[in-house]
Structure 1
Amino acid sequence: MNQDIAYPGKKRVIIIAMTGNMLLNFSGPTDVFITADTYLQNCGISNGYDVKVVAPTSNKKVDTAAGVSINCESWIADIQGCIDTLIIAGNDSREASQMGLIEFYNWLSTRNEQNTRRIASICGGAFVLAKAGILHGRKATTHWQSSERLSKTYPDVEVNSNPFFTRDGYVYTSAGVSSGIDLSLAMVEEDYNKDIATHVARKLVYYLSRPGFQAQFGNLLPVYESDNIGQKTQNWVNEHLHEKLDVNLIADHMNMSTRNFTRVFHRETGMPPAKFVEKMRVEAARKYLEDTDTSLERLAELCGLGGLVSMRRTFLRHLNTTPSDYRRAFKTSLKDSGKAVLLTPDVANLADTR
């Protein structure tokens, strides 16, 4: 779309609140733009944001996962003309809701670069954009738990589960519910400048740019079935992370030749054993960082990550952040998290050895 198109007065922000989702899906972005508009007015800038939360159905009612229902002033049929920013907050995938959403999807299909400067989604909203054909051939992200399903359901979408949000042309997609705030702050910065976005972030007591280079922190390893070789290997490796492990040792434990073990393991898990073990080491280190005060040096030793330099490189490779930054961002606020419950007994005992 031509970025020089002038919208009269304030920038029109329409947030579609899909039924059955978390409040933060739409309340987070709403508060960002409203807070930004208030600050802009105080600065003497009148062309801020006109924010409206809209229902996708004619009853104008949105039920949330928290049991709270909101009654919107408008539904999508009331929204005509140009929109500056259109945000789809969440996804209502319930079979019983689909008939009632037909008119919404018809309306959404009319939105394009000529009448909408940018279209965005929060969390499962990526499924809505994909269903409407808006993500066809584009890069997108969604919550890390749903990324594989999005990719399989819409193979024409290039799904990346790592970033908090992505942009492909005029289409923006974000990950979990809180990342809708990250995306909205980035939009404010894009519209005005970093100082204004920073003020809004401070007002909301939020990071303007969260640590980790905007990476989601989902599980590095999937959950395997009990008969999958990945699960069988994981159970044993988890108790020996502090040891020097190689494929020969693991294969021997599984009573398999190294060659056959490597072949079967790659087929059933989609990755080589060495990469699998490295991911297990990082996952174990994350637990220590979140739930204990174990020093980084000791932590690297317990998880078999070598020294500090090696551990730092491994974290950057898998999580795009450093161990110290990860601890600052995710360490539990509880004084005693009961690490012995989270770690295997042998490893928990090692952690207590100084």
Structure 2
Amino acid sequence: MNVSKDNGNAAGQRKLVVIVAMTRHMLLDFTGPADVFTNADRFLQARGANEGYEVRVVAPTYDKRVTTSAGIEVNCLYCAMDIQTPIDTLIVAGDDYCQLTIDEFTPFYEWLSGINEQNTRRIGSVCAGTFALAKAGLLDGRKATTHWEVAEKLKAQYPSIDVHGNAFFIQDGHVYTSAGVSSGIDLSLALVEEDYGKEIAVGVARQLVFYLRRPGVQAQFGNLLPVYDNTNIGQKLKLWLNERLHEPVDLNKIAENFNMSVRNLTRVLQKHTGMPPAKFIEKLRVEKARVFLEDTDMLLERIVEQCGFGNLITMRRIFLRQLAITPSDYRRAFRTSLKDTGEHELFPV
């Protein structure tokens, strides 16, 4: 088939959605958005609409194959370079980094660098697909997000990008970036709502048993404090404080333990972790509380004592600041799946 004869709004008002399956790891990176747009098209066609979506999942290489870590090989009808006509929505889904330097991906990045507002109405990414857009220069000077685990890596490699690691998705002009894996569904639902309104988007969300707009932020899923090298002051402080959070925190005592002055401790911690002692300790309290909330039935008042929050009001305020969720809601959302989660827990009598 000669794809170059098609156009961005083939068959009247149908919008061409091209999803590049970059990932070798997460199928949901590209299958999630594909399911959103194909279901939206199905709903529109059922209404007798002439408009809708034509969805093409394409490979980034000429062999048109995407081999996943799950042992599934996806044989696409097209590769990205086959698409030479206007695109309504382009989504680059996932990236496992090794693709950035492999020669067979060079034609794809040359093609991606030619994508602009004249030939593509909207450009998006899912998860670490942000790195592909960044490599092609499509994010220079823009706000963007990516998977929480690689947000700092994106900042370091592409300092011209204004990285917001907490958002599920971000729009900057005609460019949209989304966070980790399932956030591609969040973004795709938002794009459907942008095109055809809330009713169609809600219908698709219900079909997928998914929120139209998911509550919370990425911080709820990631670690507030990374795993530092054993020689890093941050790792040493984590280990020393973790068993002492229930005690009053005295910076003088901490500094003395590390043979430093309070001023020097603050300077070194800021340099190696990017945060002052008070912020570091607050995040550590939340991390410890999360373990209790996820894995135990310990009363909130007891967690307050164990983690040194002082009182429930303070704990709630800090959780909202760090995770945008209350401790009680966090427990309901993230407690172990081995617990009985019958309807009586969600809808108590």
Once the two structures are superposed, what CA deviation does each residue of 1:197-224 show, in whole Å capped at 9, x if it has no partner? 1221111111222221565532111222
Question: Which residue number corresponds to residue 226 of structure 1?
Answer: 230
- Which structure 2 segments of 5+ residues have no match? 1-7, 341-349
SS at match of 1:145: helix
User: Per-residue deviation at 1:257?
Assistant: 3.1
Relative to 1, partners in 2 of residues 1:264 and 1:104: Cα closer, same or farther, differing over 3 Å? closer
CA distance in 1, matches of 2:100, 2:141: 29
1:61 aligns with 2:70: no
User: Runs of 4+ in structure 1 displaced over 6 angstroms?
Assistant: none
Do the aligned residues in 1 keep the contact of 2:148 with 2:219 (CA within 8 Å)? no
Question: Which residue number corresponds to residue 21 of structure 1?
Answer: 25
CA distance in 2, matches of 1:68, 1:319: 36
CA distance in 1, matches of 2:297, 2:25: 36
Question: Which residue number corresponds to residue 302 of structure 2?
Answer: 298
Code of the aligned partner of 1:196: I
SS at match of 2:149: coil
SS at match of 1:119: strand
Code of the aligned partner of 2:252: N
1:313 aligns with 2:320: no
SS at match of 1:332: coil
1:104 aligns with 2:129: no
Q: Which has the higher mean CA deviation after the structures are superposed, 262-271 or 59-68?
A: 262-271
Once the two structures are superposed, what CA deviation does each residue of 1:258-313 show, in whole Å capped at 9, x if it has no partner? 33333333333222111111100011111122222222232222211122221111
CA distance in 2, matches of 1:122, 1:130: 13
1:11 aligns with 2:8: no
Once the two structures are superposed, what CA deviation does each residue of 1:114-143 show, in whole Å capped at 9, x if it has no partner? 111100011111110011110011111111
CA distance in 2, matches of 1:6, 1:49: 8
CA distance in 2, matches of 1:97, 1:155: 20
CA distance in 1, matches of 2:119, 2:219: 31
Question: Which residue number corresponds to residue 150 of structure 2?
Answer: 146
Question: Which residue number corresponds to residue 279 of structure 1?
Answer: 283
CA distance in 2, matches of 1:38, 1:157: 37
User: Per-residue deviation at 1:97?
Assistant: 6.1
Q: Percent identity?
A: 61
CA distance in 1, matches of 2:186, 2:99: 31
Question: Which residue number corresponds to residue 344 of structure 1?
Answer: none
1:93 aligns with 2:97: yes
- RMSD value, Cα: 2.0
Q: Which has the higher mean CA deviation after the structures are superposed, 209-218 or 50-59?
A: 209-218
CA distance in 1, matches of 2:322, 2:126: 24
Code of the aligned partner of 2:318: T
Counting only pairs closer than 5 Å after superposition, residues 101-250 of structure 1 correspond to structure 2 as 101-212=105-216, 217-250=221-254
Matched positions, count: 332
Question: Which residue number corresponds to residue 81 of structure 2?
Answer: 77
Relative to 1, partners in 2 of residues 1:298 and 1:22: Cα closer, same or farther, differing over 3 Å? same
SS at match of 1:198: helix
Relative to 1, partners in 2 of residues 1:174 and 1:230: Cα closer, same or farther, differing over 3 Å? same
SS at match of 1:70: strand
TM-score (structure 2 length as normaliser): 0.89
Relative to 1, partners in 2 of residues 1:123 and 1:213: Cα closer, same or farther, differing over 3 Å? closer
Question: Which residue number corresponds to residue 349 of structure 1?
Answer: none
Question: Which residue number corresponds to residue 344 of structure 2?
Answer: none
Q: Which has the higher mean CA deviation after the structures are superposed, 93-102 or 228-237?
A: 93-102
Relative to 1, partners in 2 of residues 1:216 and 1:85: Cα closer, same or farther, differing over 3 Å? farther
TM-score (structure 1 length as normaliser): 0.88
Do the aligned residues in 2 keep the contact of 1:201 with 1:207 (CA within 8 Å)? yes
Once the two structures are superposed, what CA deviation does each residue of 1:144-200 show, in whole Å capped at 9, x if it has no partner? 111111111111111111111111000011111111111111111111222221221
- Which structure 1 segments of 5+ residues have no match? 337-354
Do the aligned residues in 1 keep the contact of 2:169 with 2:176 (CA within 8 Å)? yes
CA distance in 2, matches of 1:266, 1:288: 28
Code of the aligned partner of 1:113: E
